Structure 1
Amino acid sequence: MYIVPIWIFHSVFGSLGACELVCVNYAMYISTLHITWLVNSAAHLWGSKSYDKGIYASENGLVALLAVGEGWHNYNHVYPQDYKAAELGAYGRNWSALFIDTFAALGMAYDLKTVAPHVVRQKTCSKFA
């Protein structure tokens, strides 16, 4: 988690002392907090509402990309029991689901709840009909 920012800092500025390590760690921590808070701010303000137009939560691809898969907020509010927090089958914007699925394949996560695809299609289609 810290290797890439430290490598970037060292490549750009050429030095890496104790002060630089602390600065990189603080920058990483602060940016992680801000991206996490985007889920409950930007994903409630901007984006599409594919599942329930009556709630504030929306689908925001940028937030999903920055927050490793947690920006599909409309789906998450409609189907809170789904561990993936999104209906996406691909892991391109949902690295959290990839992480969970990896540990499920290793036998370290089990009893994962999800929503049947026909239920999702029915809810999606009924909102746009």
Structure 2
Amino acid sequence: ATMFRWCFILNITWLVNSAAHKFGGKPYDKYINPAENKSVAILAFGEGWHNYHHVFPWDYKTAEFGNYSMNMTTGFIDFFAKIGWAYDLKTVSADIIKKRS
């Protein structure tokens, strides 16, 4: 069971770095390889929104979506911000996102 879990996590990690850079929509910058891949986002708890992440690398959310069902990483960081373990979180304004999409 441990070996299966390790292999599964390893494959999901590399899926982010392969499929999310190749397959999916490119709403923020169509000239770069990283794409928005919903399947990878679900499997990797929100790490599949790579077009957004590469266009706005300073945004801690890594995606414009505010719902935690598609981006559990943001929920994790927000939790630690509430208890004071994470701070100075930077995000992109809605106006800038609209201009890029």
Which TM-score tier does this pair reach, normalised by the shorter chain? Answer: over 0.9
User: Structure 1 unaligned runs (5+)?
Assistant: 1-23, 125-129
Query: Which amino acid in the other structure matches residue 97 of structure 2?
Result: V
What percent of counterpart residues are identical?
Answer: 53
Q: Does 1:25 align with 2:25?
A: no
> Which among 80, 87, 95 is matched to residue 103 of structure 1?
80
Q: Does 1:46 align with 2:23?
A: yes
User: Structure 2 unaligned runs (5+)?
Assistant: none
Structure (1 or 2) with the larger CA radius of gyration? 1
Determine which structure has the larger helix proportion and give its number: 1
Per-residue CA deviations over 1:55-75 (Å, capped at 9, x if unaligned) read 011000000000011000000
Equivalent residue pairs, number = 101
Greater RCO structure (CA 8 Å; 6+ sep)? 2
Report the TM-score, using the length of structure 2 for normalisation. 0.97
Extract structure 1 runs of 4+ deviating beyond 2 A.
none
SS of the aligned residue for 2:28 comes to coil
Report the TM-score, using the length of structure 1 for normalisation. 0.77
- RMSD, aligned CA: 0.6
